[in-house]
Amino acid sequence: MIMNKLLTDWLVEQKVVARLQTAVRCETVNPPGNELRLARQIQELLQAHQISCELYEQADGRANLIARRMGQKPGKCLVFCGHLDTVPIGNSAWSHPAFSGEIRDGRLYGRGSSDMKSGLLALLYAFIYFPQGVSDWQGELVFAATFGEETGSEGAKVMIEQNQLTHFDAMIIAEPTDNQLITAHKGVMWVQIESKGRTAHASMPKEGVNAIEGLHLFLNRLQQIGWHSGQHPLLTEPTMTVTTINSGKKTNVIPDYGEMTIDIRTIPGQDHQQIVQSMQTIAADIMRSYPEMTVDVQLLLDLPPVMTSGDAELVNVAKASLADHGISNVAERGANYFTDASVFSQYGDGEIIIIGPGKPELAHQTNEYVEVDTYLQAVHLYVEIAKRYLK
């Protein structure tokens, strides 16, 4: 097993564990986000190492950040990418304060410790250290931090649309995988269904048009169509789940309005536009059968699934690096969640993998934590992958 002693000593010198505690204590719960405060911490750290960066401030305290390092010769571009925001802490009581960064038994606790400030900071320190550990490298190494990933990869979209990040050959996203290799993840569609009818007294239901019945009809027919069939070697089957419902004002009043949101997770090969068209057809059929009822389909979020070939250079480099660092199972895996890769994969053919120190099952959970040793191991992994890829 490779263990770079110089890097290990440097990480101690840099107090990278204390820095992660500081990052966890920096609240970037989304909404509202306020990622600018953490982006400025990163900017200050980069400047302390004489590394310039671009801080792209947005409205309401949001921000993206990009830093670049150039090799001795032109070559490929590798991007280290992570997001700055976290989900809310929830209503359940935490055993350790949610923004404390408290360390107990080798675990660092706090919201974002696993998803994904440990991954973000591991990428950052690998980015800072990398040229010290390589005598000759070519190409470009980029560090990219995004805002708003947890609510639909808003920062990644801005990063592409405003040309903050342009071409890249390969990208590592440090979402929590327990330092396992992820090469595929599901896509996501968030859909809102609105049903409109006519109000009436509940004792005379035939005098009204019940909007809740419109939602029920839509959901029943949606569940019957075969769009959710399909298989993928690394991913579970597609899913469709109702996540919110809102309708009705009083028990004795027929509701004239109702809405529900649906979370759909797709696999490579599924056509999102075709799914939308199927839902619009269902809505049209209901309105033909019930002329006084209106059913409307609105697509709130549309991010495609991601798949990087097992033959890709970055995948093979990552497997070799994982094996050299004592990771016994280097097999490619898939993830049910989405990441910023859904956005970046739409702009070019760069290879994208996901490797991060957090445990995926702890993401968004009460008492979220990261193993400190896994966090430190991730820095070594990222340096080694970059060394092999940019040789």
**Res 1 pLDDT > 60:** no
Q: What is the mean pLDDT of residues 278-292?
A: 97
For 187-303, CATH number? 3.30.70.360
Task: List the strands of the sheet with 294-303, edge to edge.
Answer: 239-247, 257-266, 187-196, 294-303
Q: Are 291 and 196 in contact (CB under 8 A)?
A: no
Q: Which two tokens stand for residue 357?
A: 């120190």
- Distance between CA atoms of residues 249 and 212, nearest Å: 12
Q: Are residues 175 and 288 in contact, defined by beta-carbon separation less than 8 angstroms?
A: no
Q: How confident is the model at residue 136 (pLDDT cuts 50, 70, 90)?
A: confident
Greater confidence (230 vs 14) lies with 14
> Is 90 exceeded by the pLDDT of residue 133?
no
The average pLDDT across 8-25 equals 98
pLDDT digits (tens, 9 = 90+) for 142-161: 999 999 999 999 999 999 99
Q: Which CATH class is domain 5-185+305-389?
A: alpha beta
Residues whose CB falls within 8 Å of the CB of residue 238, separated by 6 or more in sequence, listed in order: 186, 227, 228, 229, 230, 264, 265, 266, 267, 270
In the chain, the largest separation of any two C-alpha atoms, in whole Å, equals 82
Sequence-ordered list of residues with C-beta below 8 angstroms from that of 255, at least 6 positions apart, any chain: 197, 199, 210, 211, 212, 247, 248, 249
Q: Which two tokens stand for residue 373?
A: 């040793």
Among 7-11, 40-44, 345-349, name the one with the lowest average pLDDT. Answer: 345-349
H/E run at residue 183:
strand 182-185
CA distance 295 to 288: 10
Give the residue-averaged pLDDT of 2-30: 95
Same topology, domains 5-185+305-389 and 187-303? Answer is: no
**Predicted local confidence at residue 182, as pLDDT:** 98
40-72 per-position pLDDT tens digit:
999 999 999 999 999 999 999 999 999 999 998
- CA proximity to 235, closest of 287, 172, 188, 173: 188
Residue 219 phi, psi (nearest 5):
-65, -40
Judged on CB neighbours under 10 Å (0-12, 13-18, 19+), 285 is middle
Domain boundaries of the chain, sorted by first residue: 5-185+305-389, 187-303
Q: Is the pLDDT of residue 225 over 60?
A: yes
Mean pLDDT of 93-106: 97
Q: Which two tokens stand for residue 298?
A: 């609105």
pTM exceeding the 0.75 threshold for the entire prediction: yes
Average pLDDT over residues 305-309: 97
Average pLDDT over every residue of 182-189: 97
- Residue 348 in this model has a pLDDT that exceeds 90: no
